[in-house]
Amino acid sequence: MSRGVVLGRRIKQKLRIKKMDNNDLRVKHLEFIRDVIDRMGQNSFLIKGWGITLIAAIFAVAVIKEVSWVFILIGLLPAIAFWGLDSYFLWQERLFRELYKDVSKYFSNSDSEDVPELFSMSTEPHMNKNYYTCYWKAFSSLTILCFYAPIILLIIVLAFICRYFGG
């Protein structure tokens, strides 16, 4: 039994004490999922900020210390690492959006077997289910590519300039 299911059952038992009806519980479940989606978006934003800051610091040190072009290429490591981490948060956000859709199906058809267990936060059924929920699709999504590809290209161009033109 997954951790999400166990956690969901505990929360469900605690809320039974308050005698909430099933619709109220489903709404609460949707709020929990929405909060997770919001956190994933905030994490993605913070990752972009930290990535730009760290890469700018590497460039600043390279300019001040007049280090070799190899030091500039070290900027590729955090750029690629933050690209992967940002993609991970986007992927998780997409998985939770799919979970949100499944839980919201309850309101249109409460007898449906597709509706996840109450307060289940498990996204496993959605992993690689379709094009949208694959990690590599998040890694190569347009929003991620448009942010990280120019940064990586800039690092490579600056290293090339420093290497061949002695900048």
Q: Say how many domains are in the chain.
A: 1
Q: What is the pLDDT of residue 35?
A: 94
Tokens matching residue 83? 């690209």
Residues of the chain scoring pLDDT < 70 = 1-20, 108-115, 131, 167
* Containing structural domain, residue 91: 3-165
Nearest-5° angle of CA 103, CA 124, CA 8? 55
Q: What is the pLDDT of residue 18?
A: 53
**For residue range 141-163, what is the model confidence (pLDDT) as tens digits?**
999 999 999 999 999 998 898 88
Could you tell me which of 161, 145, 158, 146 has the C-alpha nearest to residue 60?
A: 158
